[in-house]
Amino acid sequence: MDWSKRSGELRSLLEKAKAETTSGYDCLVPVSGGKDGSYVAFKLKHEFGMNPLCVTITPPTPTSLGRKNLEAFMASGFDVLSFDIDPEKLRSLNLTGLEEMGFPYYGWLVAIQSLPLRVASSFGIPLVFYGEDGEVEYGGNAESKNRAIYTAEYMKQIYLEGGYSKVMEQSGLSEAELTPFSFPDDDQLESVSITHWSYFENWDPYRNYLVAKEKCGLTDAEDTNEGTFTNFAQNDQEIYALHTYLMYLKFGFGRANQDACIEIRRGALTREQALNLVRIYDGKLADGALQKFADYYRVSLDELSRIIDRWVNTDLFDRVDGTWVPKFVLD
């Protein structure tokens, strides 16, 4: 990868954005107060002299630590526009997304794609920076591997897994109620470029964490997060644990496996150390977690279990005494 060439592309893009802004904010960064958005915003402001407007959308099951980290990020010198969507609308879309897509916070995922674009087009901000391109960093569709800029349609097809229209239609919400989840028209986005920071710089989540902790006041969780051995990522919402549990039941790898692969790539773990951690943590949920999530969706525990069961990969798992048990052995 020719990072020096991409650094040149970045500088050209930033200079163009500075010249084109009509609001004073020359770029927009979606943030949660976590390590990645904080890192991107910090780099843009302090290394490249940009004036980012940061946008956050309150997640469906927010944590006190997440709020604390967002406040610390703002206090480190950033303007943040915060959206709090009607929780009933968000709950409805999240439940529909779980049923139709097997995705526990689909409504919120839509909002963190749609609302920043609506803000950028309305405020005259020409450049939107997300963090990493998960398709390229962690495996998936490689269409954007050698392309810095992508479109709202790409968001819908790839990041929203092609289910956007179906979930919107199945939600039962009116067009007005779906406003926060609606994307701007193509002509409104003609002057807005959407990109990922990971296209321009080798993506290192642990480096991002260290910078966010030192420069933006990021605080770790006191204990390891559910289903993994780390404590410094995805600390803003509880329902992420259900997302990674479903990932495990669909594909046979969960949050610990995902984190272990990242740590191996950056040289912090050997494969054997990683295997031991994955055997201990992967696919685990805390006692009572499913009941907590059922309460959030306002469905019975049995109904939530039925929805989850529809998404289990039975080539990989068997039902034993009411619990999904892997058929595979990690070695």
Chain-centre distance of CA 5, in angstroms?
A: 27
Give pLDDT, residue 182. 97
Band (120; pLDDT cuts 50, 70, 90): very high
- Do 141 and 72 belong together in one domain? yes
**Over residues 275-281, mean pLDDT:** 96
- Do 131 and 258 belong together in one domain? no
What DSSP character marks residue 189?
Answer: G
Nearest of 206, 232, 204 to residue 219 by alpha carbon: 232
| Separation CA 58–CA 83 (nearest Å) | 6
In a domain, 101, yes or no: yes
**Over residues 193-216, mean pLDDT:** 95
Band (169; pLDDT cuts 50, 70, 90): very high
Total number of domains in the chain: 2
Residue pair 14/52 in contact (Cβ under 8 Å)? The answer is no
In a domain, 252, yes or no: yes
Band (240; pLDDT cuts 50, 70, 90): very high
Residue 235 has pLDDT above 90, yes or no: no
In a domain, 249, yes or no: yes
156: containing domain: 3-199
**Over residues 109-119, mean pLDDT:** 98
Give pLDDT, residue 255. 94
In a domain, 151, yes or no: yes
| Dihedral of the alpha carbons of 244, 246, 247, 250, in degrees to the nearest 10 | 170
CA distances from 242 to 114, 136, 203, 263 (A): 23, 24, 26, 22
Band (239; pLDDT cuts 50, 70, 90): very high
Residue pair 129/48 in contact (Cβ under 8 Å)? The answer is no
- Cα angle vertex 299, ends 57, 240, to 5°? 40
Band (69; pLDDT cuts 50, 70, 90): very high
Residue pair 217/72 in contact (Cβ under 8 Å)? The answer is yes
Band (136; pLDDT cuts 50, 70, 90): confident
**% of the chain exceeding 90 in pLDDT:** 90
